[in-house]
Structure 1
Amino acid sequence: MNPPNKTRIYLSPPDIGELERRYVQEAFDTNWIAPLGPNVDGFEQELAAYVGSGHAAALVSGTAALHLALRLCGVGPGDEVVVSSLTFVASAAPVVQLGASCTFIDAERDSWNLDPALVAELFEARAREGRLPRALIVVHLYGQSADIDPLVELCDRYGVALIEDAAEALGATYKGKSPGSFGRAGIFSFNGNKIITSSGGGMLVSDDAELIAHARKLATQARDPAPHYEHTELGYNYRMSNVVAGIGRGQLATLDQKVAARRANFAHYVEGLGDLPGIAFQPEAAWGTHSRWLTCLTVDAEAFGNDREAIRLALEAENIEARPVWKPMHMQPVFQEAPMVGGAVSEDLFERGLCLPSGSSLSQADRERIIAIVRGCAR
C-alpha cells in the first residue's frame, strides 16, 4: 500500500500554464467549440514552423497521424513495413490495421534507436528477393533522435517511404533540425504524458502539400467538395477540436522551457546516481540534442546489488511512479509471429532499463527524494 501522507510523483504529468487557459477561454468566448477553428489553424502553422516542415494537420492522436501517414504512403494488404522494435505498440498497430505486416528491427547502443546497419542488411536482402518493403517507420525514442541520414539514403536508394514516429521527440534535434521533418511524413503526439500535451491529440507533418491536404480530407470523413455530403472514398473522424488545439498552442509556446527543465532533471539524476556501480544512463548521441522527455537508465544487477524491478518497487512503495523501458514489439504476444532482425540489444534494454519521473514541473525536493530511494537500493 502506498504511504497516504506522501504525494504521488508521476512519471510525466502535464505542466499547464495560463496561456493555455487564455486560448481555451477564447474558444468559449467565440463559440468555437466544434472541431476546427482558429486554434486548429494556429496550432498547425506554429508546430510546422517549429519543426521546420512545410505543412501540418492537427488530429485526434499521434496514432491517427501514423495511420494516415501509412495509408497515404500506399500501405495496404500484403505489404511489409519495417518498424523499430523498441517502442510502444502504437508505432506498429496501424500497420496491421491496414492489412500489412511488420518486420521489426533491433536497436543500437549509441541512441537506443533502430540500427541503420540492420536496416541496410534487410533492404539488401529484400532487393535480391524482389520484394522491397513499402515503408520504414523509425521511432525517435524517449526524446532521442535516431541516426536519420543513413535511413534517408537507404529509403531513397530503394524507393521505400520513410515515416518518422517522433511522438516522443518534440524538442529534440538531429544535426540542428527537428526529427519528424526528414521523411515523407512525420508524426507527433500530445498525449497527457508527452513533453507538451493538449490532453490528447497529434500532428501529421510533411513537406508534401498534397499529402497533408489529402490527410485533412480523410480525417474529416473524406467529404468531397459539394453542398451536400458526397464521398468517393472512405475516411475517418480524426480532426482535432478547437478547444484541444488551444491547449496545444499554449503548451507549444513554452516547449523550449519544458525541454530545459527535463534536461535539468536528467543532469540532476546523473549527479545524484552516476557514481553508483552498475548504473548507466541512456546516452546522448553525437548527432543531436536529446530532449530527455524521459530520463532512462539501465541497471547491472550484479554490480548494483539489486535489479531494475527492485528499484521500481521501492519507488512505488513510496508513491513514486517509475516504469520499465518499453517491452520490444517482437516480444509482445500480439506480434509473436512477426519477423525480427537482431533483438539482443532491445531485449537487454528492456530487461535492465528503467524510466524515472521526468516531468518539467518536477521539483528539486522530489528529485532528491527519488535519488535517495534509488541509492538506498544499492548493496
Structure 2
Amino acid sequence: MANGPISVQVAWLPKTSRIIQQLWVIPREELSSVQKLKKILISPPEISYSDIQYILNYIQPENFFDFRHNHQFESKIAGIVGMPYVLSAQSGTAALHLALKVLGVKTGDTVLCQSMTFVASANPILYERANPVFIDSEPETLNMDPELLEKAIQELFKKGIKPAAIIYVHTFGTPGNADEVMRIGRQYGIPIIEDAAEALGSYYDNTPAGNFGDISVFSFNINKIISTGGGGALCSKNKKYVEKARFLANQAKEQRQHYEHCELGYNYQLNPFAAILGKAQLPKLKHRAEKKRELHRFYFDLFKNLKNIKLIGESHKSRSNFWVNAVIFENYDTYNSMVSLFEAFGVEVKPLWKPMHMQPLYKSYMHYLNGVSENAYRLGLFLPSGSSMTKAQRDQIEYIIKKL
C-alpha cells in the first residue's frame, strides 16, 4: 500500500462547492492515528447495560400487557415538566397528531408551524387535511420568529381565516422567545401546541420546556436525551385534553363489555416495555443535560475566536439541554473544509434541516420568510452532541477544528 497523502471527497457536499474540485489532502499518518477511534455520531443512543438489566428484571409474561408501567412513567414525566396530566404515546409524531385531534383541527383548517424543524412537526397537519402556514426563524436560536408569526396571523385574520393552532418548536432543544409566542397565542385566541420533542430538561425563565402550551409533546426516540427506543408523550393542564387523547390512542374503544367504536381511533399507545425503559432512563436526565451543556461550552471555546463560524446558543432567558449543537458558517469554503475534515477523521456531521417551505411536499403552502432558515440550511451543520462523548473524542474534534 502506498504511504502518500490521502485525498478526501464527500458525496453530499453542494454541487457549487469548490471542494469538489480542490480536495483536502490529509497525511496518511494523521488519518491512521484517529481511525482507531469509533466513529463519533451526532446523537448516539444513550442506553446503558444498567437500563437493559432494569428491563430484564421485568421480563415476565404478565408485564407485556401491564400498562401500570406506562402510568408510572407518565407520573414521572408530569413531575419533571410540571404538567399534571400526561399520556405516553407510540412516538412524538403520534402525540402531536393526537394534540391536533384533541383541539378539533379538521379538513381545511389552518395551522401555523415553524419552517425550520424536522418534518414530523408538520406531517400531522396533513394527516388531518389541514393547511400548514410556515413561519421563519429568528437568528439567535433558530426558533419561530414572533414578529413573523404575528404578521401571518394578522394577514390571515384580514382574509377571514382564524388559525386552529400554532405548533411552536423548541429547535435543537433550545427554547426561543416562548413568552412572546404565548402572548400572541392568547391575544388572538389561538391554542398553542408546544413541540418540545427535543427539549426535555430545558428551561425558559426557570420554567420547564413543555409547561407553556395548551398541549405539549415530547419524543423519546432512540436519538433523544431520554429514550424509550421509540416513544413520545402528550402533556396538558387540561384533564379533558389528555383523557380524549388517551381514548383516541386506544382505538377509540368505548367503555363497554363488548368492543364498540363510535369514532375513528388509533393504535398510538406506548408499549409497556418501552415505558419500563423510560423509567430507567428518567433519573439520568439531569446528569445528561449538564453533560450536554458542558459539551456546548467546549464547542463555544473552540469557535469563539473564529469569526466566520457561529455556534447556535441560547437566549438570556433559556437554559437549554443542547440536545444537539449546530454551527452556521459565513461562506461555503469554510463549510466545505469543515465537512471534509470531519468526514475524513470519522466524525459525523450533517446539514441542518431543510426548511419545510423548501421541501417538495410543502413548498406550495403559504409561508412567511426572512431568509434565516434558508441560510441556516445552506451553511449550517449538526455537530456530535452525545452526553457520553469521551475526552479522546473531544480531543479528536478539537484537533480537527484547529486545523481550520
2:193 to 140, 160, 163: 163
Matched, 1:126 2:156: yes
Q: CA deviation at 1:375?
A: 2.6
Counterpart of 1:32 in 2: which secondary structure? helix
Match of 1:231 among 239, 245, 261: 261
| Rounded Cα–Cα distance in structure 1 between residues aligned with 2:321 and 2:114 | 19
- From 366, 369, 376, the counterpart of 1:339: 366
Given the two structures, how large is their TM-score scaled by the length of structure 1? 0.94
Counterpart residue number, 1:25: 56
Q: Equivalent residue for 1:375?
A: 402
SS in 2 for 1:319: coil
Contact 1:86/1:107 (<8 A) preserved: yes
Deviation at residue 317 of structure 1 after TM alignment: 2.1
Give percent identity, aligned residues only.
36
**Superposed, which structure 2 residues align to 1:275-314 within 5 Å?**
275-301=305-331, 306-314=333-341
Shift of 1:22: 4.7
How big is each residue's C-alpha offset from its partner over 1:340-361, in whole Å with a ceiling of 9 and x where there is no partner? 1014011111111111100010
Give 1:365's match in structure 2, choosing from 367, 392, 399. Answer: 392
In the alignment, is the contact (CA less than 8 A) between 1:164 and 1:183 conserved in 2? Answer: yes
Kindly report which structure 2 residues correspond to 1:1-379, keeping only aligned pairs within 5 A, or say none. Answer: 5-17=36-48, 19-29=50-60, 31-34=62-65, 36-301=66-331, 306-376=333-403, 378=404
**Contact 2:335 2:379 (C-alpha < 8 Å) held by counterparts:** yes
Provide the C-alpha distance between the structure 2 equivalents of 1:352 and 1:312, rounded to a whole number of angstroms.
11
Deviations along 1:145-199, whole A, 9 cap, x unmatched? 0212122222122221100110011111011111221111000001111111111
Question: Corresponding residue for 2:23?
Answer: none
Q: What displacement does 1:44 show?
A: 0.3
What is the letter of the counterpart of residue 31 of structure 1?
E
Whether the 8 Å contact between 2:198 and 2:323 is mirrored in structure 1 is yes
Going from structure 1 to structure 2, the CA distance change for 1:42 and 1:89 (only over 3 Å counts) comes to same
Please give the alpha-carbon distance, in whole angstroms, between the structure 1 residues aligned to 2:286 and 2:52. 19
- Cα deviation for residue 362 of structure 1 reads 0.4
- Give the distance between the partners of 2:55 and 2:138, measured in 1 at CA: 42
- Tell me how far apart the structure 2 counterparts of residues 299 and 190 of structure 1 sit (CA, whole Å): 30
* Deviation, structure 1 residue 31: 2.9
Unmatched segments (≥5 aa) in structure 1: none
Deviation (angstroms), 1:19: 5.0
- Paired with 1:253 and 1:18, the residues of 2 have a C-alpha distance of 15
**Aligned-pair distance for 1:309?**
3.6
User: 3-state DSSP class of the match of 1:227?
Assistant: coil
1:64 alignment partner, SS class: helix
Does the Cα contact within 8 Å between 1:66 and 1:91 map onto a contact in 2?
A: yes
Query: 1:38 Cα deviation (Å)?
Result: 2.6
**Higher Cα radius of gyration:** 2
Name the CA shift for 1:214/1:318 in 2 (closer, same or farther; >3 Å). same
Distance 2:57 2:70 in 1: 13
Asked if the contact 2:302/2:401 (under 8 Å) is kept, the reply is no
Is the deviation greater in 239-248 or in 3-12?
Answer: 3-12
Please give the per-residue CA displacement for 1:108-145, whole angstroms capped at 9, x wherever unaligned. 01221001111111112222222111110001011110
What is the identity, as a one-letter code, of the residue corresponding to 2:361? V
Measure how far apart 1:276 and its partner are: 2.2
What are structure 2's unaligned runs of at least 5 residues? 1-7, 9-30
User: Is the 8 Å Cα contact of residues 27 and 33 (structure 1) preserved in structure 2?
Assistant: no
State the distance in 2 between where 1:275 and 1:31 align.
Answer: 58
Give the RMSD, CA atoms, in angstroms: 1.7
Q: For 1:226 and 1:24, how far apart are their aligned partners in 2?
A: 33
SS in 2 for 1:164: strand
2:59 alignment partner AA: F
